[in-house]
Each structure stands twice: as structure tokens, then as C-alpha cells.
Structure 1
Amino acid sequence: MSKLPAGIGYTTTQLNVHMLRPLFADSGLLRCEGVVLHLGRTIATAEARVVGAENGKLYAHATTTCAILTPRPAGPPLNRRAPTAAATAATTGARAAQAR
């Protein structure tokens, strides 16, 4: 289940896991509880806890920070700039010199 709209991705930027006590075959039923703490435009944070369903003991807890990946609009790359007249002249001059 995700709180993000369809087509929006994410990747983990930080993950911290703390294991507090060992688990054994007779540890009983466990429950994992997770909650989103913050969901912004570019960053999200969440936390989770693993607790004993019958005794309420905390076995592990974790936090994560994720980068939200929104699709870029179609078209030319955003970091490209049109060449300046000086750059075009320098490139043309260099090509002409190579041709000689």
C-alpha cells in the first residue's frame, strides 16, 4: 500500500534498523506497525515497530527517509542551454581549422 499517487516513484535515501531482542520459535505472534510521519513533495519519512502481539514487547524498530521521484515533463533536458554566439563561432572556427 502506498500513499503516493499512481505514477510517482520513490527511493530510499536513509534506513535505520534497531533490533532490540532476539526472536525464538516460541516468541509467539508478532505484529508490525508502520506509519508515515511526513509526506512532502520531495521527501517522505516513516517509522515501523515489531511488537509481540500477546505481550506488547518491542523487538525492533526502524525509520526511513525516502526521496519522492516525480516524472519530468516531456521535452528537451532541463539542464541544456542554447549555445551562445561566441561558443558557436569558436566551435565553427575549430572545425574549419581541422578541415584545412
Structure 2
Amino acid sequence: MNEIQKLKDENKSLKSVIQKLKNENKKSKSNSVGSDKRVHNERGAGRKERFSDQEKEMMKMYRIQGKTIKEIAEMYSCSVGLIHKIINEQFNLNYEK
């Protein structure tokens, strides 16, 4: 009989621990909702980028050196619009904030 009572007491204490952990879990979930920022395109879906970051930086450097957008587009065999977009990407990010 004494052993049964010990097991019942242990069961009660474990239930209280479980309840405390559930409450902590709820609190942490509610706190992380605002800070949960998903990585854009985390599945890797969609079109892959045509140029690497190094190539994009080179395009920007050519533009700073005085090359025209048309000349850079001919160097990389792509459209003038794409070069313009790549060169002005950094500036567009600043305006969104």
C-alpha cells in the first residue's frame, strides 16, 4: 500500500512538471511569433540567379569606372535592363526601409 502511494505522489509531481513545461512552451511560442522571419525561398524554388555576387560586383565596378550600361551588357551577353537592375539593386533596398 505504501508503494502505491509513493507512485501516486510521483505521478502528481510529474504531471505538475509537464504542465509547467507546457506553459513555458506556449510562452516561448508566443514570444517567437513576432521574431519568426522565414528565409525567402527556403525551398530553393524558382528561377536561379544568372550572375554570381562576384560578377554583380564587377558590373558595378565597371560602371564606376565609366563604362556605359550598354557596354557592360554586351560584355556579359545580357540585356541593358538586367544590368541596370543589378547596378541599382543596392539603392532599391535602402528605399524600402
Which structure would you say has the larger Rg? 2
- Would you call these one fold, judging by a TM-score over 0.5? no
TM-score interval w.r.t. the shorter chain? under 0.3
Higher helix fraction: Structure 1 or Structure 2? 2
TM-score (norm 1): 0.18
Greater RCO (Cα-Cα under 8 Å, separation 6 or more): 1
Larger fraction in strand: 1
